[in-house]
């Protein structure tokens, strides 16, 4: 059950303490969003010199260390996390003394790709074809059933393309098994998708729910490199007027009342929210695929029970960022406006050594966010949000003047700078 509200939080003086499991860039951006609200932060992080080190107290220990967990939660108003591989047993231990959001059952569903796919299917949400694989013989059987090409993945762990092998020919099965075999695996069939999308939903402890506009994403080798809002090649979304109430209601051009794709994505997210009694930001990655009867339909790829890379654009492109809304949700505060602030926004990830900051910020509408991480090849060290247009206030939706440089040109300029560093993951 969803319990409590924000009524008991202090309104002035020493603000409530938010305990966060994990101290990476998502924890950093949560803190940066929460400090202006008067919130305090404490983090549990095993690595030295984490990106959050200057934004709150850090308990440096393993994520399942009982003494560390007790130190993290002492005096905290709520516990949340910034990555989905938090040990479920640790989350349940924390929940014995302090509210933990999103709930531990969301971690259980997201941590195992087979459990996740079965969970989607049980809720009537379509997925790519899949089969569990535990032995070399089961891999052969799965390939016969699903066909090739397909992707062999570890059921647990692995992100940004790690822990998976693309299979295109049967001759590749032996090497794939040599690489990944000996642990629980899942074989997923290839999907002939038109676009990769994601829906970001947020639900508070009171049950208040809001959705951000659909995001279109581009991945290379399993790593998210760019996101854009509105989703650029959907004729319904692209043709939507910039005039919007911005509140996700019936008058918003990006609401379920106007876009069937947005409505379908919101319906998928709502089913998962309800099933898990969810609180916080939830991201679900989707494939838009052809459908002979409806034109297109959505398949769920995977979910992230946390703030998400494809939602970073909200820092500068939405009235309320995903990070602030996640904090509002887990503390039981009213949710903020999820509407698009201007005509459009995009996010470009920075991998490895980023271009000089003076070059990036020279691009009109570019907003640089660095994570205070040591650069190394392929490592996410920051991102650039690119915006165009702007409203006069939350919910007003009026765009101030025509901008001679549109979103596509601004994104192109940032991409040239980023790709010129030789850090494309391809």
Instruction: Identify whether residues 155 and 201 lie together within a single domain.
Output: no
Question: pLDDT tens for residues 131-141?
Answer: 999 999 999 99
- The answer to whether residue 251 scores a pLDDT higher than 60 is no
- The answer to whether residue 249 scores a pLDDT higher than 80 is no
* pLDDT of amino acid 421: 60
Q: What is the CATH number of the domain that holds 67?
A: 3.40.50.20
Instruction: Identify whether residues 30 and 176 lie together within a single domain.
Output: no
Q: Which letter does DSSP use for residue 313 in this model?
A: T
Residue 6's contacts (CB-CB under 8 Å, 6 or more residues apart) are: 205, 331, 332, 333
Helices (H) and strands (E) in the chain, counts: 13, 17
Instruction: Identify whether residues 150 and 67 lie together within a single domain.
Output: no
Q: Which of 148, 173, 189 is the last residue of a domain?
A: 189
- The answer to whether residue 1 scores a pLDDT higher than 60 is no
* pLDDT of amino acid 221: 83
- The answer to whether residue 240 scores a pLDDT higher than 80 is no
- The answer to whether residue 7 scores a pLDDT higher than 60 is no
Q: Within a domain: residue 152? A: yes
Contact criterion met (CB below 8 Å) for 16 and 42: no
Q: What is the CATH number of the domain that holds 168?
A: 3.30.1490.20
Instruction: Identify whether residues 56 and 149 lie together within a single domain.
Output: no
Q: Within a domain: residue 110? A: no
Q: Minimum mean pLDDT among 81-85, 87-91, 303-307, 422-426: which range?
A: 422-426
Q: Within a domain: residue 109? A: no
Q: Which letter does DSSP use for residue 355 in this model?
A: P
Instruction: Identify whether residues 233 and 317 lie together within a single domain.
Output: yes
Instruction: Identify whether residues 205 and 269 lie together within a single domain.
Output: yes
Can you tell me the distance from the alpha carbon of 86 to that of 65, in angstroms, rounded to the nearest whole number?
Answer: 12
Q: Within a domain: residue 8? A: no
Q: Which of 145, 169, 189 is the last residue of a domain?
A: 189
Instruction: Identify whether residues 213 and 343 lie together within a single domain.
Output: yes
Alpha helices in 100-231 (DSSP H): 104-111, 113-122, 136-146, 173-180
Can you tell me the distance from the alpha carbon of 89 to that of 130, in angstroms, rounded to the nearest whole number?
Answer: 28
**Which residue, among 35, 310, 37, has the nearest Cα to 196 in the 3D structure?**
310
Residue 388: exposed, middle, or buried by beta-carbon count in 10 A (0-12, 13-18, 19+)? buried
Contact criterion met (CB below 8 Å) for 248 and 92: no
Contact criterion met (CB below 8 Å) for 38 and 324: no
Q: Within a domain: residue 280? A: yes
How many CA atoms within 13 Å lie on the side-chain side of 288? Answer: 22
* pLDDT of amino acid 378: 87
Instruction: Identify whether residues 269 and 356 lie together within a single domain.
Output: yes
Q: Within a domain: residue 108? A: no
Instruction: Identify whether residues 55 and 157 lie together within a single domain.
Output: no
Higher-scoring residue by pLDDT: 162, 81? 81
Instruction: Identify whether residues 181 and 224 lie together within a single domain.
Output: no
- The answer to whether residue 397 scores a pLDDT higher than 50 is no
Q: What is the mean predicted confidence (pLDDT) over 185-196?
A: 95
Q: What is the mean predicted confidence (pLDDT) over 383-406?
A: 64
Pairing of strands 17-21, 40-45: parallel
* pLDDT of amino acid 296: 94
Q: Looking up tokens 């951006």, which residue turns up?
A: 29
**Which residue, among 91, 101, 29, has the nearest Cα to 322 in the 3D structure?**
29
Q: Minimum mean pLDDT among 231-245, 280-294, 394-408: which range?
A: 231-245
* pLDDT of amino acid 6: 45
Q: Which domain holds residue 92?
A: 17-100
Q: How high is the mean pLDDT of the chain?
A: 88
Per-residue pLDDT band for 323 (boundaries 50, 70, 90) equals very high
Contact criterion met (CB below 8 Å) for 309 and 215: no
Q: What is the dihedral angle through the alpha carbons of 72, 73, 79, 81, rounded to the nearest 10 degrees?
A: 20
Q: Within a domain: residue 7? A: no
Distance of CA 290 to CAs 22, 43, 95, 237, 294, Å? 39, 44, 43, 17, 8
Instruction: Identify whether residues 392 and 255 lie together within a single domain.
Output: yes
* pLDDT of amino acid 127: 98
Per-residue pLDDT band for 354 (boundaries 50, 70, 90) equals very high
Pairing of strands 17-21, 78-81: parallel
Q: What is the CATH number of the domain that holds 238?
A: 3.30.470.20
Per-residue pLDDT band for 238 (boundaries 50, 70, 90) equals very low
Handedness of CA 227, 19, 337, 385 (dihedral sign): negative
Using N-to-C axis directions, what is the helix angle for 25-34 and 322-331, rounded to 10°?
Answer: 70
**Which residue, among 106, 82, 77, has the nearest Cα to 94 in the 3D structure?**
77
Q: What is the mean predicted confidence (pLDDT) over 269-285?
A: 98
The total number of structural domains in the chain stands at 3
Q: Within a domain: residue 236? A: yes
Q: What is the mean predicted confidence (pLDDT) over 1-8?
A: 39
Q: Which of 154, 189, 224 is the last residue of a domain?
A: 189
Instruction: Identify whether residues 265 and 215 lie together within a single domain.
Output: yes
């Amino acid at each position: 059950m969803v319990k409590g509200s924000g009524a008991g939080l202090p309104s002035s003086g020493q603000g409530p303490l938010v305990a966060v499991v994990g101290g990476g860039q998502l924890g950093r951006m949560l803190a940066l969003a929460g400090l202006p609200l008067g919130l305090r932060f404490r983090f549990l992080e095993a690595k030295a010199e984490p990106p959050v080190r200057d934004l709150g107290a850090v308990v440096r220990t393993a994520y399942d260390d009982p003494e560390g967990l007790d130190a993290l939660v002492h005096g905290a108003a709520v516990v949340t996390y910034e990555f989905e591989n938090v040990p479920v047993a640790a989350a349940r231990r924390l929940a014995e003394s302090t509210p933990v959001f999103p709930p531990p059952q969301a971690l259980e569903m997201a941590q195992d790709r087979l459990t996740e796919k079965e969970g989607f299917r049980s809720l009537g949400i379509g997925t790519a074809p899949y089969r569990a694989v535990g032995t070399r013989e089961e891999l052969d059987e799965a390939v016969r059933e699903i066909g090739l090409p397909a992707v062999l993945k570890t059921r647990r762990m692995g992100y940004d393309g790690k822990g998976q092998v693309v299979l295109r020919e049967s001759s590749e099965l032996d090497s794939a098994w040599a690489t990944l075999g000996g642990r629980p695996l899942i074989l997923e069939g290839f999907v002939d998708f038109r676009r990769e999308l994601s829906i970001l939903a947020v639900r508070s402890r009171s049950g208040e729910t809001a959705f951000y506009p659909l995001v279109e994403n581009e991945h290379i080798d399993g790593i998210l490199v760019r996101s854009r809002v509105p989703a650029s090649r959907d004729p319904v979304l692209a043709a939507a007027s910039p005039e919007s109430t911005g509140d996700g209601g019936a008058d918003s051009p990006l609401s379920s009342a106007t876009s069937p794709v947005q409505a379908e994505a919101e319906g998928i997210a709502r089913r998962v929210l309800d099933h898990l009694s969810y609180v916080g930001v939830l991201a679900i990655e989707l494939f838009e695929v052809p459908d002979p009867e409806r034109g297109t339909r959505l398949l769920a790829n995977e979910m992230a029970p946390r703030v998400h890379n494809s939602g970073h654009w909200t820092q500068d492109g939405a009235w309320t960022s995903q990070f602030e809304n996640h904090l509002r949700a887990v503390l039981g505060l009213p949710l903020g406006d999820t509407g698009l602030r201007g005509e459009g926004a995009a996010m470009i990830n920075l991998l490895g050594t980023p271009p000089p900051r003076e070059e990036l910020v020279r691009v009109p509408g570019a907003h640089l966010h660095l994570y205070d991480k040591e650069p190394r090849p392929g490592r996410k060290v920051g991102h650039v949000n690119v915006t165009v247009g702007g409203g006069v206030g939350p919910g007003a939706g009026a765009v101030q003047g025509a901008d001679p440089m549109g979103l596509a040109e601004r994104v192109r300029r940032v991409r040239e700078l980023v790709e010129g560093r030789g850090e494309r993951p391809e």
